[in-house]
Structure 1
Amino acid sequence: MTVALIVTRPDSEKWQWFTLPVAVEEVYERYWLSGAAATAAVWLPLFQTGCAVEGKDFPALTRELLTLRG
């Protein structure tokens, strides 16, 4: 299995519906989820089963990704 970003409502015709792989399941569970637990992330654990993300959610999601990266 793979964790992926799926864009279903692109802003323009240039960016039609597309999928961007993020991590294979094993890597996601081992590194992303352990990091999410350590940083009390809310969004990152939702990616394993899938969740809808809207534009208004990007600031919070970006903060979690930057915290995980650090």
Structure 2
Amino acid sequence: MSISAFIPEPGSDAERLFHVPVATEAFFEDCWEPAAEELGLRWVPLFATGVELTKADVPEVLGELGRLRAWAERALDGDRLALLLARLGRLTEELPGAFERDGAVVYIG
């Protein structure tokens, strides 16, 4: 299984195409969850079970993703670091654009 971000009730073709892979469940448990616990993150742990985000949530979620990036740069190396940074980069870049429509909701899980 894997964790990804998508719009469950798309209102356009662009929203229908919005899909951002986050992590496999194993990689999430191995890298994301320990970091989230160490950093005291609120949103990131919810990705494992699934969470709906609104536009109002984005600044806080992006802040947590930034903290996760900084943690990864000091705690990981090699392929694990490269994979986590790639996934964080794409999610950070694409998540804000998913909320162009009023009332849009992004599900991460």
The verdict on a shared fold, with TM-score over 0.5 as the criterion, is yes
Query: In the alignment, which residue of structure 2 is the partner of 1:13?
Result: 12
Query: What's the CA shift for 1:14?
Result: 4.5
Query: What's the CA shift for 1:6?
Result: 1.2
Any residues of structure 2 matched to 1:1-70 within 5 Å, and which?
1-9=1-9, 13-17=12-16, 18-70=18-70
Query: What's the CA shift for 1:62?
Result: 0.5
Greater relative contact order: 1 or 2 (C-alpha under 8 angstroms, separation 6 or more)?
Answer: 2
Structure 2 unaligned blocks of 5 or more:
71-109
* Aligned mates of 2:65, 2:9 — CA distance in 1: 22
3-state secondary structure, aligned to 1:21: strand
Question: Any runs of at least 4 consecutive aligned residues in structure 1 with deviations exceeding 6 A, and if so which?
Answer: none
* Aligned mates of 1:57, 1:66 — CA distance in 2: 14
Count of equivalent residues: 69
Q: Match of 1:16, as an amino acid?
A: E
TM-score between the two structures when normalised by the length of structure 2: 0.58
3-state secondary structure, aligned to 2:50: coil
Q: CA RMSD in A?
A: 1.6
Greater CA radius of gyration, 1 or 2?
2
3-state secondary structure, aligned to 2:51: coil
TM-score between the two structures when normalised by the length of structure 1: 0.87
Structure 1 residues 20-54: Cα deviation after superposition (integer angstroms, max 9, x where no partner): 21111110011000110011000001000101000
* Aligned mates of 1:35, 1:52 — CA distance in 2: 21
